[in-house]
């Protein structure tokens, strides 16, 4: 396996962030990471987006493909990684393995969830789906 390094990182503020949707938050954090890593002029091979419930919470599906488009990273491959509360770790693992195996040279891993705009009872029902019946 090849050596792998995380060359940049970025994040948004945490909180209610009224007026900012999930995609805006993903774009903001991704641009910060790309800038921090000095990778703005490089071609990304793939983008891994960690997310648990965008479809249920924000009615946004295809968020990985949408992020690739928003960041003008085409033709990078786009994968959404969903693994409940471990989605972020799983996305990092997938990005690591893609580079370590030689399948890709440069990947972006992003993750986010937007829950503050939804009633607590709805979020509770969605999070409850993580447990076995």
C-alpha 38/C-alpha 16 separation (Å) is 30
Tally the domains of the chain.
Answer: 1
- Element (H or E) spanning 50, and its range? strand 46-50
Instruction: Decide: helix, strand or coil at residue 120.
Output: helix
Kindly state whether residue 45 falls inside one of the protein's structural domains.
yes
Q: Is residue 15 a part of any domain in this protein?
A: no
Is 17 among the domain residues? no
DSSP, res 14: P
> Domain for residue 8, yes or no?
no
- pLDDT > 90: what percent of the chain? 77
Is residue 119 a part of any domain in this protein?
yes
**What is residue 129's predicted lDDT score, i.e. its pLDDT?**
87
Q: Is the pLDDT of residue 21 over 80?
A: yes
The predicted-structure confidence for 78-133, as pLDDT tens digits, reads as follows 999 999 999 999 999 999 999 999 999 999 999 999 998 889 999 899 989 888 66
49-62 per-position pLDDT tens digit? 999 999 999 888 99
Domain contains 7: no
**1 located within any domain:** no
At 56, list the tokens. Answer: 């249920």
CA proximity to 109, closest of 87, 124, 128, 131 = 87
33: CATH: 3.40.47.10
Q: Which two tokens stand for residue 17?
A: 């962030």
Contacts of 1 (CB under 8 A, 6+ apart): 100, 101
Q: What are the tokens at 9?
A: 């990182």
29 assigned to some structural domain = yes
Domain residues for 53? 22-128
Tell me if the bond preceding 101 is cis, omega within 30° of 0: no
């Amino acid at each position: 396996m090849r050596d792998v390094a995380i060359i940049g990182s970025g994040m948004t503020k945490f909180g209610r962030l009224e007026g900012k949707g999930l995609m805006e938050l993903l774009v903001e954090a991704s641009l910060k990471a790309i800038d921090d890593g000095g990778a703005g002029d490089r071609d990304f091979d793939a983008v891994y987006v960690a997310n648990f419930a965008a479809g249920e919470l924000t009615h946004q599906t295809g968020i990985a493909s949408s992020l690739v488009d928003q960041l003008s990273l085409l033709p990078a491959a786009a994968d959404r990684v969903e693994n409940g509360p471990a989605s972020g770790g799983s996305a990092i693992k997938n990005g690591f393995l893609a580079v370590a195996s030689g399948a890709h040279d440069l990947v972006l891993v992003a993750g986010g969830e937007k829950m503050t705009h939804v009633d607590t009872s709805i979020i509770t029902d969605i999070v409850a789906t993580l447990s076995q019946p």
